[in-house]
Chains A and B, each alone.
Chain A
Amino acid sequence: MHVDFNQIEKRFGDKVALNIPSWSIEKGDLLGLVGSNGAGKTTFLRILLDLLLPTSGSVRLDGRLLAIDSSWRKRTGSYLDRSFLVEYLTIPEYLSFVGAAFGFTEEETNQRLAEFERFLPISRVDTTRLLRDLSTGNAKKVGILAALFPRPEFVVLDEPFANLDPPSQIRLKDELSLMAETHQTTMIISSHDLGHVTEICDRITLLDAGVVKRDIHTSEETLSELKDFFSGDRQTSAT
C-alpha cells in the first residue's frame, strides 16, 4: 500500500503538534518512526488510522482519500494501545472477531493463527481468560497478533517491542521482516528502541516537535547517527 501525507498540520489550540508538508511510504517499505516523547509520533499514527482529523491537509492510501474512502480498513492491521482490544473478550473470541472483520471463517482464522504459533502459541492459551486479566506484555502480544495474523497489506504498530519479553521481541522481529520480504507488506513501526528499528527497518523517519527531521534509508551508520541526535548533538546532525 502506498501512503501519502500532503500538507498535514495538526494543532491542539495554539500548539502545533504535527507539521508535515510532504511525506510518503512505498508498498513493501518497513519504516521505523522514531522521536522523543511528545515528538508527534502517536498523533502521526492516529491521523494515519483516521482516528484523528488533521487541522489541515490530507492523507491518501493508494491514491484514495483516507477521510472519504474507508476501504483501507479491510487491508490494514494496527495496534497502538489497549483501546485496540475488546478487553472483556477471551483471546479466541477477540481473534475470531478480528478474523471476521477481515471476512475469514473460524477455520480460516485458526489456520492463519497457526502460522504465528511461535509468536503466541494460541493452541496453549487459557481460553477462559479475559483480555483484561492479561499482563501488559501478554495483552500487547494479542494486540500485535491481531494486527498481523490476517496478513494485511498495511501494518501500523506503536511501540511493539515495549513490555515484550526478549524471546517475543526476537520472534516479532522475525515475523515483521518475513512479512515485508515475502508478502510485500507496508509497515510503520513507532519505537523508542533505536536498536530494534535500525535492525529491521529499511527506512527511518525521525520526528522532532512535530516536524520530520530525518527521513533516511537505514545503513550501518544510522544507529550512531540517531544516537548522536538524541544525545543532544542536534546542531551538527540535523539536516
Chain B
Amino acid sequence: MWLLAVGMLLLSSHFANLWLRAMLQRRAGWFYLIMTVFMVTAFVDETAGMGVQQRISTYIFSHILSGDLFSLGLLASFTALTIILSAFHLSRSLRESGARVEHARATSIPMPESWGMLGHLIRLELLLLWRNRRPRHYLLVSLLFSTMYLIFMLGTKNAFPGFAFAALLGLFASGGFVLNYGQLMFGWDSSYYPALMTRNVPLRTLVKAKLIVLQLSCVGLFVLSFPLFMWFRPDLIPLHFTFLFYNAGITSVLILELASRNKQAINIGKSGGFFNYEGFSAKHWLWFIPTALPPVLFMMAMSNRAQLALIILATLGFVSVLLSDAWTRYFARGLTIRKHDMLEGFRNSAR
C-alpha cells in the first residue's frame, strides 16, 4: 500500500510538472492568477504559523501509512487528474504546433537613433531575450528568484542569520540574471555569429551592449526585490545595496570573462527546461568558485567588521563599474584573438 502511494506520488509529480510547464508556455492569465493566489495562501499559512498545509499533508500520509483506502483513493484521483490534464495539454499543443507563428512577440523595442549601433545591439539582446524560449526561461527564473523565492527565503524565520550566508542571497537577488543568462553570452549569438563578424559591428560596441544589459539587469532586479528586503529584512538593506554595486561591477565582468570563451553553439529556440545544459561545460560549473565564493568568504572572514566588509565590496564594485570602458576594451581584444576559434566551435557544435 505504502509503495503504491509512493509510486502514485512520483507519477503525479511528473505529470503535474508537465502540465505546469505547458500552462506556463501558454501564458494564460487565469493560470497566473490561480498560482499567485495559491502561493500567497501557502506563504501566509507558513508565515502566520497556521499549519494548514502541514495538517493536510499529515492527514493524507498518516492515513496512507495506516492503510486507509479513502486517502489512497484521494491520491489516486489526484494522480489521474494530473495525467488527464497533461495529456489534454499535450494533444492541444500537438494540434496547434506548426500553425502557430509567434506574431504576438514581434512587437519591437524602440531605441533612440542617436545611439547608433550600440542601440541596435542592445535591442538585439533584449529581443533575443523576449523572442526565444531558452533565453526567456533564464529571464523568468531570475525574476522568480528575485520575487517569489526571495519571499520564502527572507520570510522564513532565522534564515540567513549571518552576513556571510546572506551574501549569497545578495549575490543572487540582484545578480541572478547575470549568473544565469550571462554565462552563455556570445553562445546565445552562435547561430548568427557570422552575421556579426562579417558586418561593421565593432567588437567593443558588441561587448559594451552586453555589459550594459547585464548591469541594467542588476539594477532591475535590485529595484524589484528592494520592497521585499524592506518588508522582511530591513537589516539586510545595506547588503542588498552593496551587492547591487558588486554584481554590476565585479560579477558581470567575471561572468563575461567566462562567456567570452564560449565555443559551443546553443539552440535558442529549444525549451529552457531545468535539465537543458546545452552550451554548458565543466568550466561553467568551476567558474562558480571564483565568482560566488570570494564575496561569501570575504564576508565570513570579516564577520566581526561586517559594515567595513560591505563598504569594501561596494567600493570594489563601484570602481569596476567606472572601469567599464577598460573592461570593454579588454574583452574586445580577447574576442578578436579568439574570433576564428569561436566561429569554428559554434559551427562544429551546431551540426
Interface residues of A (CB under 8 A from B): 49-53, 73-74, 76, 78, 80, 83-90, 93, 96-98, 100-103, 105-106, 127-130, 132-133
Q: Which residue of A lies closest to B341 (CB)?
A: A53
Q: Which among A74, A83, A98, A105 is the interface contact of B194 at CB below 8 angstroms?
A: A83
CB-based closest 5 A-B pairs = A128-B106, A101-B199, A88-B131, A74-B200, A83-B194
The residue that B127 contacts in the complex, of A49, A76, A85, A93, with Cβ under 8 A, is: A93
How far, in whole Å, are A52 and B194 apart by their CA atoms in the complex? Answer: 10
Is B192 interfacial (CB-CB < 8 Å)?
Answer: yes
The answer to whether A128 and B103 touch across the interface, beta carbons within 8 angstroms, is: yes
Partner pick for A80 among B124, B128, B194, B199, CB 8 A cutoff? B194
Judged by a CB distance under 8 angstroms, whether B198 is at the interface is yes
B137 to chain A, nearest CB (A): 15
Collect the chain B residues with CB atoms within 8 Å of residue A96's CB.
120
Given contacts A83-B193, A133-B101, contact A100 B116 (CB under 8 A): yes
Closest residue of A by beta carbon distance from B115: A100
Cβ–Cβ contact B344 & A101, under 8 A: no
Cross-chain contact B344 with A52 (CB below 8 angstroms): yes
B132 within 8 A of A: yes
Who on chain B is nearest to A78 by CB? B198
B52 to chain A, nearest CB (A): 45
Cβ-defined partner of A100 (8 Å) among B106, B117, B269, B347: B117
Judge if B197 is at the interface, Cβ distance under 8 Å.
Answer: yes
User: Are B102 and A85 touching (Cβ within 8 A)?
Assistant: no
- 21 pairs of residues in contact across A and B, judged by CB atoms under 8 Å: A49-B194, A51-B194, A51-B198, A80-B194, A83-B193, A84-B195, A84-B198, A85-B195, A88-B128, A88-B268, A89-B124, A90-B106, A93-B127, A101-B199, A102-B200, A103-B200, A128-B103, A129-B106, A130-B131, A132-B269, A133-B102
Residue-wise, chain B 92-126 has the 8 Å CB interface mask toward A (1 for contact) of 00000000011101101000010011001001100
Are B102's CB and A130's CB within 8 A? yes
In the complex, chain A residues whose CB is within 8 Å of the CB of B344: 52
Is the CB of B333 closer than 8 A to any CB of chain A?
A: no
Cβ of B147 within 8 Å of any chain A Cβ, yes or no, is: no
Whether, in the assembled complex, B340 has its beta carbon less than 8 Å from a beta carbon of chain A, the answer is yes
Known A-B contacts A88-B128, A93-B127, A129-B103; A50 and B197 likewise in contact (beta carbons under 8 Å): yes
Chain A contacts for B123, CB-based, 8 A? 93
B164-205 contacts to A, CB under 8 A, are: 191-195, 197-201
Query: Closest CB of chain A to B208's CB: distance in Å?
Result: 15
Q: Closest CB of chain A to B136's CB: distance in Å?
A: 11
Q: With the chains together, A105 CA to B114 CA distance in Å?
A: 9
**B residues touching A (Cβ–Cβ < 8 Å)?**
101-103, 105-106, 108, 113, 116-117, 120, 123-124, 127-128, 131-132, 191-195, 197-201, 268-269, 340, 343-344, 347
Q: Is the CB of A76 within 8 A of B132?
A: no
Main secondary structure of the interface of B (DSSP, over half): helix
**Closest chain B residue to A147 by CB distance?**
B198
Tell me, rounded to whole Å, the shortest Cβ–Cβ distance linking A146 to chain B. 9
Closest B-chain residue to A97, C-beta based? B120
Instruction: Decide: A88 and B120 in contact? CB cutoff 8 A.
Output: no
CB < 8 Å neighbour of A49 from B102, B120, B198, B347: B198
CA distance A103 to B102 in the complex (A): 30
Q: A49-B194, A78-B198, A105-B113 are in contact. List 9 more A-B contacts (CB 8 A).
A: A51-B343, A53-B340, A83-B347, A84-B192, A86-B195, A87-B192, A89-B127, A96-B120, A133-B101
Whole-angstrom CA separation of A208 from B159 in the bound complex: 70
Residues on B with C-beta less than 8 A from A53 are 340
A130: contacting residue among B106, B113, B198, B268, CB under 8 A: B106
State A129–B105 Cα separation when bound (angstroms): 9
Determine if B102 and A101 form an interchain contact, defined as CB atoms under 8 angstroms apart: no
A101 touches B131 (CB 8 A): no
Structural contact, A101 and B117, CB atoms closer than 8 A: yes
Chain A residues with CB below 8 A from B198, complex form: 49-51, 73, 76, 78, 84
Shortest Cβ gap from A97 to chain B (Å): 5
A83 close to B131 (CB less than 8 A): no
**In whole angstroms, how far apart are the Cα atoms of A76 and B195 in the complex?**
12
How far is it, in angstroms, between the C-alpha of A190 and the C-alpha of B86 when the chains are bound? Answer: 50
A97 to B132, CA, bound (A): 19
* Residues on the B chain within 8 Å of A74, using CB: 200
Contact A98 B199 (CB under 8 A): yes
A50 CA to B336 CA, complexed, in Å? 12
Complex: chain B residue closest to A98, CB-CB: B199
Residues of B within 8 A of A49 (CB): 194, 198
Decide if A52 touches B343 in the complex (CB within 8 Å): yes
Q: Which residue of A lies closest to B344 (CB)?
A: A52
Residues of A within 8 A of B128 (CB): 88
CB-based nearest A residue for B104: A128
Shortest Cβ distance from B203 into chain A, in angstroms?
9
